[in-house]
């Protein structure tokens, strides 16, 4: 049969279990054909020592098991306290070293970057999300240069960059266009990857 025809759940599950192939991109768990088959597959990997450690350590609560969230604004020297998150602030890239170094010295191994732009123009397709001067891209480059051993995770999101506030590309009737949204998120993830080796949360 045509490889894009639907198949039953049992057949799909068996095929996926038998081989880690592009069927992941061609069929859903219910055997429904995806609208846009993926041209390549990102396999999970353990490229970083922290990722490998997390897969082998016992469950415990230690600094090297934690991920510290960092909210990055596009004012390079800013420290803007967040009222709803006591003790947290939005930081400009020039303030990252002073904030992070004490935590790294205490054993922190991973940070999670959230871009919070204030100056970047917003539009319907979140054009500013992967520009060279977006807060997340600048932060990745800065952190990778200051702390090359630190594992950097990034929130891949369109919400802060869209004029309508949704994390996706919308159709004319206001619904989320899933295909266009996935492709746009992939473009943003690629920009983050080019800025420095990191992992993504979508």
84-107 pLDDT, tens digit per residue, is: 999 999 999 999 999 999 999 999
pTM, two decimals, is: 0.70
45-201: CATH architecture? Alpha-Beta Barrel (3.20)
Q: Where are the domains of the chain?
A: 1-34, 45-201
On whether the CB atoms of residues 3 and 27 are closer than 8 A, the answer is no
pLDDT per residue over 117-152, tens digit each? 999 999 999 999 999 999 999 999 999 999 999 999
At residue 131's C-alpha, the angle toward residues 144 and 51, to 5°, is 35
Residues 164 and 196: their CA atoms lie apart, in Å, by 29
CB atoms under 10 Å from CB of 175, counted, come to 10
């Amino acid at each position: 049969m045509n490889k894009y025809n639907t198949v039953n759940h049992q057949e799909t599950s068996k095929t996926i279990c038998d081989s880690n192939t592009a069927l992941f991109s061609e069929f859903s768990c219910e055997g429904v054909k995806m609208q846009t088959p993926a041209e390549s597959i990102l396999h999970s990997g353990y490229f970083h020592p922290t990722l490998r450690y997390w897969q082998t350590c016992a469950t415990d609560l230690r600094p090297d098991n934690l991920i510290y969230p960092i909210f990055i604004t596009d004012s390079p020297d800013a420290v803007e306290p967040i009222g709803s998150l006591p003790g947290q602030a939005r930081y400009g890239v020039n303030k990252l070293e002073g904030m992070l170094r004490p935590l790294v010295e205490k054993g922190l191994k991973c940070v999670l970057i959230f871009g919070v732009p204030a100056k970047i123009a917003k539009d319907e397709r979140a054009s500013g999300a992967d520009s060279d001067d977006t807060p997340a891209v600048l932060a990745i480059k800065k952190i990778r240069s200051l702390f090359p051993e630190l594992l950097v995770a990034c929130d891949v999101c369109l919400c802060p960059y869209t004029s309508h506030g949704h994390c996706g590309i919308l159709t004319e009737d206001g619904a989320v266009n899933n295909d266009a949204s996935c492709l746009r998120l992939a473009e943003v993830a690629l920009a983050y990857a080019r800025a420095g080796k990191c992992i993504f949360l979508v």
